[in-house]
Amino acid sequence: MEQVAGQAGISSIHVTFPTQADWELLGAAGWLQRVGHQFHWENRGYATFDDFLGDLNSRKRKAIRKERRVVAESGVRLHTLTGSDLKPEHWDTFYRFYMNTSDRKWGSAYLTKRFFHRLGALMPDRVVLIMAEDGGQWVAGALNLCGGDTLYGRNWGCNGLYKHLHFEACYYRAIDFAIARGLKRVEAGAQGRHKIQRGYLPTATYSAHWIRDPNFRKAVANFLEHETAAAAQEIALLMEESPFRREES
């Protein structure tokens, strides 16, 4: 990569989300190393969702059961769609949910309707789409992508106000799917401290950076030295909120 960068006159190279082992190799080769965090749920050999709940302290266990019960009793039905279950109507609907979320958060809607249809056409077995139905109408959806041993939560959208539906569709149904398929983890992405009490713990993520200009490299290295210490402190503080019994002091 450095040779290609030199030949092409590229100013920097950035490797995002490598494994820790690869990250350490890049660091040994002189690349700058950065640490961040996301929220991941780990499958500890659970056979059922109740097995997972059994690892939580009683207060958090009761809270999750209450949230799931509220959704179940609301009349909203949830469907886990993958493979041949996915139809064009699902993508048309989910695209509207996606746009609603982008509009509410003042974000940039960088994905197109064509992208979602191509996703369903080219790799349907890697898609896990959780769709919520109320009175015969689709009202919400959560898009996940399935890797070899991990489910990656990506997008959520809803066109109404439904208590706890976000938690059910994005977090609990993802756990259900991971347990059923024997996946090792669910990665729910960055942001959202509320994920911790639902079993998604802060987990270190890595990136490595090669910078050509020595002065710019020095400035970035100085920043990373301070940021890395702060990142470790933040993860440690967030872990104190873990709902797991076995991690309680």
pLDDT of residue 223: 97
Distance, CA of 128 to CA of 146 (rounded, Å): 7
CB 167: neighbour CB atoms within 10 A?
20
pLDDT tens-digit map of 200-216: 999 999 999 999 999 99
CB 227: neighbour CB atoms within 10 A?
14
pLDDT of residue 219: 98
pLDDT of residue 246: 63
Nearest CA to 43 out of 142, 194, 181, 239 is that of 181
- The tokens for 27 are 């660091």
Which pTM value belongs to this model? 0.90
Strand-pair category, 127-134 with 137-146: antiparallel
CB burial class (10 A; 0-12, 13-18, 19+) of residue 184?
middle
The verdict on domain 41-201 having CATH code 3.40.630.30 is yes
**Ranges in the chain annotated CATH 3.40.630.30:** 41-201
Mean residue pLDDT of the chain comes to 94
Q: Is 86 helix (H, G, I), strand (E, B) or coil?
A: coil
Which residue(s) pair with 81 in the sheet? 129
